[in-house]
Amino acid sequence: MQLVVGRIGRAHGIKGEVTVEVRTDEPELRLAPGAVLATDPASTGPLTIESGRVHSGRLLLRFEGVRDRTGAEALRNTLLIADVDPDELPEEEDEYYDHQLMDLDVVTADGVEVGRITEISHLPTQDLFIVERPDGSEVMIPFVSEIVTEIDLEEQRAVITPPPGLIDDQAEIAASRDAEAIDDQAEIASSRDAEAES
């Protein structure tokens, strides 16, 4: 199975290094020196990682055969793709690879269908499930243990206990609109009463 593990950004310096947007939870394994990666577009690869380092919070890689800024710039926006055994599991028990989570059905603890995971977004602070609802809209669900209480790969589902407003925000908006309308009607009625008394 092939998985996208990074995207090459801009060149860094003049010796062929590039910044890399990491798209894997295991960069030390997937983006280690000696790793050979397929690419998209395929014409720029395969690429073999010669060295890597972290600079100002960003991963910098140098590839074999890329020695200058011009060569590095030519790789910009290239996707880096690793071959991964589909049966391989992360080392930690409560960790998952993106491909294991894609297309899982998302349901609440009381069995209400929320939708299907179509994307996992890796943010600096946490990961998010992008979930497509049955009506075609999307909702973002933080992948944290307080909200995602169970991942059942056999049943192909993720069970969540969402806080108020996370998935039922449309209902809340409607309810707040109704509450505003009731408040407005109450204000009109009280001002009419005041006018009538004067």
List, in order, residues 6 or more apart from 88 with CB less than 8 Å away. Answer: 97
Mean pLDDT (the chain) is: 80
The 10s digit of each residue's pLDDT in 107-141 is 998 888 999 999 888 776 778 899 999 998 899 99
For the record, the structure tokens of 73 come out as: 């710039």
Secondary structure of residue 52 in the 3-state scheme: strand
Q: Work out the end-to-end distance of the chain between its first and last CA atoms, rounded to an integer number of angstroms.
A: 80
At residue 22, the pLDDT reads 85
CA distance 53 to 31: 10
User: ∠ CA(183), CA(189), CA(193), 5° rounding?
Assistant: 140
pLDDT tens for residues 83-107?
Answer: 876 666 665 666 777 778 888 999 9
Check residue 115 and report its DSSP letter.
Answer: E
Cis geometry, peptide bond prior to residue 134 (ω within 30 degrees of 0)? no
In this predicted structure, which of 11-15, 95-99, 185-189 has the lowest mean pLDDT?
A: 185-189
Digit-coded pLDDT (tens) for 42-65 = 998 899 999 999 888 888 999 999
pLDDT for the residue numbered 191: 52
